[in-house]
Amino acid sequence: MTERIRINKIKLDSTLTGKPVVHLHAPGAQYARFPVLYLFDPGLLVQVGIDPNGLEPGEDVHCNLWAHFEMSEKLNQRGNPYKNVVSLERIDAPATTTSTDNSAILGELRAIKALLLELLATDDVNRARAERIHTLNRAGRTGTAADPQTTEPVEPLSEAEARTEFYTLAGPAIAEDRADPGKVNDLARSANGEGWNTALAGLKELLAIN
């Protein structure tokens, strides 16, 4: 039966007999030093758009792919079966040096956005703010600034209000691929020291919203 494991780093090496072998590393600190699989046919890397001839021995190459393998009938010295890599599959999500999975963050941001807009829309006092947020999101999608003649002047936001607007803008921006999740996360973390108004200003700059 074929199984698969996610690979986020590869490194070209050679066997004791001088044959090329590619070390396949999985995400996680426990796999950073030792590979989870060995690829004895570097030509398979072409399946995921990597030229094996362009690899430098000993150089770490970060990637984002699935390695499909089968258990061999041959056993190693510890009595465990060898794992034979049979194919590689590219993962569409962009790879980074940290190989962060942002799916949970995206889901949380979408849920926050829906809840906040519902709360704002049901409060007459904050209805104008809900409309303003909608205008800002629309401006970010079209790449144009909101019309200052049709947007009411907004008083400086409290930290709580700035945090609310930050996540309300960030959710749809990430969902619609208008913002890099990593950069949004960095801005959110910076709010701990610099405040949510600063983080919000950075997000608006990232989205090209005035």
Residue extents of the structural domains in the chain: 3-90, 103-207
Structure-model confidence comparison of residues 24 and 172, the more confident one: 24
d(CA 58, CA 60): 7
What's the predicted TM-score (pTM) here? 0.44
Tokens standing for 185? 């996360």
Contact 69, 84 (CB under 8 A): yes
Cα–Cα distance, 28 to 101 (Å, whole number): 12
Residue 193: predicted pLDDT: 79
Using DSSP, state whether 191 is helix, strand or coil: helix
CATH topology (fold) of 3-90: OB fold (Dihydrolipoamide Acetyltransferase, E2P) (2.40.50)
Mean pLDDT of 167-196: 80
37 confidence band (pLDDT: 50, 70, 90):
very high
pLDDT value, residue 102: 53
Q: What is the DSSP string of 121-163?
A: HT-GGGHHHHHHHHHHHHHHHHT-PPPTTTSPP-PPPPHHHHH
Considering the chain, what is the average pLDDT of its residues?
A: 77
pLDDT at residue 200 in the model: 87
